[in-house]
């Protein structure tokens, strides 16, 4: 079916169900950012493949709402589909809820698959629709009726981390969660977030591409816990270990019936952003409901000393892989042209040769020339560019190792760079270094630090539309909360052990994109001259910058000192794992800047 035919068939189902509009979200039934193929309904119906976006269709019109990262990609993928692109965040662009209110008559009925509608979004919709008396109908998965070859839900092998790797036993983690439940007066707590469950249970899987998580729900009661999981790939030994920790294993599909049997005096807690509307509705009427961020989320974000040590090992492995990739690229480009997909495949090869490599942490972004200006560009065979001995190449990639999760972006010149390319790269580097050097008091939020990375760009009248930093998991999702570094006023302090990216950028459509990304860990500033509690960042990522693109005259003495110290440290850390030729290459690539 063409996209136009899919839209036509969907409208026919809407008429059958007496729906005036239908909304398709990007999430799965766990509020995940990255989802199994089974849940890629929005991509199937619209043709837009980005990870974030909302599709809305009425009987006459259809639209996609997505953010800055996907403006260019969405415009290209939606061409000729009859679907209008709405650039979320731009002045004058309505939210999809406001758009529906303006397009439909009072008392309209809006449909969607309630499994993909979070409680938070349901409450937002309900409040918005009160004045126009719209009805929300969340019981019908119309895409599922049309999608004949829809993939099955996955059930990949499940494995567990030992205490020597995770730093804590799951029963120790469960005890801490129960202590916080008691403080909140909570008797029953449902966790839907896949990475929170994986962290809590010290288990990992492969049910979501690039994210080593397991499709499951977890319910904690005062005396016992329940893991609702597609358990056909649970080994006998893991099953026994789980049960020995007083956790009952039940079928993935039984969670709603278990919730419906909660006692009348239950105090039921869940995260509104991660719990879907149908599950929340399964709880008995009249019980007390509490909503908050998952108790496990901040615990998971603050890596313990064992996890921190493991992460540093993962960064060294990733650094070696990056050195070998760029050595190959710089050498191979002198002999022949290389496709973007070939470059991405070789990057994976370099990582896969490292011990304990599990997978990539996300689909790599190998953007050459104008493709680098597409923030979340995905190379495809028919549209990819050939890398030549000129222009800029941006590679955003990462790996999953048994010791940790990596995410790194480097932009390099494949020939002699232009003055504009050098200038753009240097001011991005200045913002990148400024954030890395930050020292800040206890209680500081990410939005208070965001301007450090943007200031050098703002002074040139430039900016970027994405956040500066996202949290990163431990052998888990490459994007995790609760912290972020962005202009949005997220009320979440940066705490010791949190791992957050540092990735400012410049994007010149049709020309080039420049982004530089390292991962930072928040640590206590031990040499703080005052008695107050202050923090600083440890730069975890180990990979040189392209000195051909740096205009040293634009760097301050403090920035040069930081840069030289960083490059000296990465030589020290990576050299033992490199051969003589590789060490020589690294020493030249990371030589001191005067």
> How confident is the model over 446-456, as pLDDT tens digits?
999 999 999 99
Q: Classify residue 477 as left (phi > 0), alpha (psi -120 to 50) or beta.
A: beta
Query: Which phi and psi (to 5°) does residue 61 adopt?
Result: -130, 165
Contact 327/585 with Cβ under 8 angstroms? yes
**Measured distance between the N- and C-terminal CA atoms of the chain, rounded to whole angstroms:** 61
Three-class SS state of 174: helix
> What does the pLDDT look like over 471-501, one tens digit per residue?
999 999 999 999 999 999 999 999 999 999 9
Supply the DSSP symbol for 261. Answer: T
- At residue 214, φ and ψ (nearest 5 deg) are -125, 130
Distance CA 511, CA 509 (A): 5
Contact between 416 and 466 under an 8 Å Cβ cutoff? The reply is: no
Q: How far apart (Å, rounded) are the C-alpha atoms in residues 424 and 550?
A: 9
**How far apart (Å, rounded) are the C-alpha atoms in residues 462 and 493?**
27
110-140 per-position pLDDT tens digit = 999 999 999 999 999 999 999 999 999 999 9
**Per-residue pLDDT for 1 more than 80?**
no
- State the CATH architecture for 159-300: 3-Layer(aba) Sandwich (3.40)
Q: Is the pLDDT score of 106 beyond 80?
A: yes
Q: Are strands 267-270 and 288-291 parallel, antiparallel or unpaired?
A: parallel
* pLDDT in the model for residue 124: 95
CATH code of domain 3-146: 3.40.350.10
Is pLDDT above 80 for 382?
Answer: yes
Confidence (pTM): 0.94
Residue pair 125/136 in contact by the 8 Å Cβ criterion: yes
Beta strands in 280-418 (DSSP E): 288-291, 338-339, 357-360, 365-368, 386-387, 392-397, 399-401, 404-405, 408-413
8 Å CB contact between 561 and 574: no
**All structural domains of the chain with their residue ranges:** 3-146, 159-300, 302-588
Assess whether pLDDT exceeds 90 at residue 577. yes
From the candidate CATH numbers 2.60.410.10, 3.30.390.30, 3.90.230.10, 3.30.499.10, the one assigned to the domain spanning 302-588: 3.90.230.10
* pLDDT tens-digit series, residues 407-446: 999 999 999 999 999 999 999 999 999 999 999 999 999 9
Q: Are 14 and 22 in contact (CB under 8 A)?
A: yes
Q: How far apart are CA 479 and CA 407, in angstroms?
A: 10
Q: Write the DSSP symbol of residue 54.
A: E
What is the reported pLDDT for 293? 96
* Cα 85 from Cα 77, distance rounded (Å): 10
Burial zone of 574 (CB within 10 Å; 0-12 exposed, 13-18 middle, 19+ buried): buried
pLDDT in tens, 59-84: 999 999 998 888 888 998 999 999 99
Same fold, 3-146 and 159-300: yes
CA angle, corner 172, sides to 168 and 173, nearest 5?
Answer: 80
Contact 517, 502 (CB under 8 A): yes
Tell me the helices (H) and strands (E) count for the chain, helix number first. Answer: 19, 30
What is the DSSP pairing of strand 225-229 with strand 247-251? parallel
219 vs 157, 487, 516, 527, CA distance in Å?
A: 22, 35, 41, 43
Q: DSSP readout, 78-147?
A: HTTTTPEEEETTSTTPPPHHHHHHHHS-TT-EEE-BGGGSBHHHHHHHHHHHTTTT-EEE-B--HHHHH-
| Residue 548 DSSP label | G
Q: Which residues pair with 276 in a beta bridge?
A: 118
């Amino acid at each position: 079916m063409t996209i136009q035919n899919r839209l036509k068939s969907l409208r026919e189902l809407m008429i059958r169900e007496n729906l005036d509009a239908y909304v398709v979200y990007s999430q799965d039934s766990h509020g995940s950012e990255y989802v199994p193929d089974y849940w890629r309904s929005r991509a199937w119906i619209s043709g837009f493949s980005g990870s974030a976006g909302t599709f809305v269709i009425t009987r006459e019109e259809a639209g996609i709402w997505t953010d800055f990262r996907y403006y260019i990609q969405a415009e290209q993928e939606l061409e000729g589909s009859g679907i209008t692109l709405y650039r979320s965040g731009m002045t004058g662009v309505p939210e999809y809820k406001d758009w529906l209110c303006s397009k439909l008559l009072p008392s309209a009925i809006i449909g969607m698959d309630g499994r993909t509608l979070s409680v938070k979004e349901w409450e937002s919709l309900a409040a918005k629709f009160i004045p126009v008396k719209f009805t929300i109908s969340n019981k019908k998965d119309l895409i599922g009726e049309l999608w004949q070859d829809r993939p099955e839900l996955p059930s990949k092998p499940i494995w567990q981390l030992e205490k020597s790797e995770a730093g804590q036993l799951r029963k120790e983690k469960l005890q801490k969660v129960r202590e916080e439940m008691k403080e909140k007066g909570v008797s029953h707590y449902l966790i839907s977030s896949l990475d929170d469950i994986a962290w809590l249970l010290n288990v990992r899987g492969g049910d979501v591409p690039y994210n080593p998580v397991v499709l499951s729900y977890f319910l904690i009661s005062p005396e016992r816990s329940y893991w609702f999981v597609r358990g056909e790939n649970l080994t006998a030994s893991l099953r026994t270990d789980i049960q020995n920790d007083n956790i009952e294993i039940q079928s993935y599909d039984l969670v709603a019936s278990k919730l419906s049997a909660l006692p009348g005096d239950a105090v039921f807690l869940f995260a509104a952003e991660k719990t879907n509307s149908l599950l929340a509705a399964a709880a008995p009427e009249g019980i007390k409901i509490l909503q908050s961020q998952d108790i496990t989320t901040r615990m998971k974000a603050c890596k313990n000393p064992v996890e921190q040590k493991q992460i540093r090992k993962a960064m060294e492995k990733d650094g070696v892989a990056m050195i070998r990739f760029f050595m190959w690229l710089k050498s191979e480009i002198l002999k022949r042209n290389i496709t973007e997909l070939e470059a991405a495949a070789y990057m994976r090869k370099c990582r896969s040769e490292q011990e304990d490599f599990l997978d990539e942490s996300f689909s790599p972004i190998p953007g050459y020339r104008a493709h680098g200006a597409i923030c979340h560009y995905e190379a495809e065979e028919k549209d990819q560019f050939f890398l030549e001995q000129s222009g800029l190449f941006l590679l955003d990639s990462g790996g999953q190792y048994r010791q940790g999760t990596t995410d790194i972006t480097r932009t390099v010149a494949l020939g002699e760079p232009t003055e504009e390319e050098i200038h753009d790269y240097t001011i991005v580097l200045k913002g990148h270094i400024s954030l890395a050097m930050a020292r800040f008091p206890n209680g500081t939020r990410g939005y208070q630090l965001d301007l450090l990375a943007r200031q050098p760009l703002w002074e040139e009248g430039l900016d970027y539309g994405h956040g500066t930093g996202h949290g990163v998991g431990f052998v888990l999702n490459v994007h995790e909360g609760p912290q972020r570094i962005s202009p949005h006023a997220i009320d979440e302090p940066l705490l010791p052990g949190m791992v957050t990216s540092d990735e400012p950028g410049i994007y010149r459509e049709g020309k080039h994109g420049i982004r530089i990304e390292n991962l930072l860990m928040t640590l206590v500033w031990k040499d703080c001259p005052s008695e107050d509690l202050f923090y600083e960042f440890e730069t975890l990522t180990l990979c040189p910058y392209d000195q051909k693109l740096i205009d040293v005259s634009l760097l301050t003495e403090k920035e040069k000192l930081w840069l030289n110290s960083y490059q000296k440290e990465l030589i020290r850390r990576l050299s033992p794992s490199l051969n003589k030729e590789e060490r020589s290459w690294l020493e030249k690539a990371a030589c001191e800047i005067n």
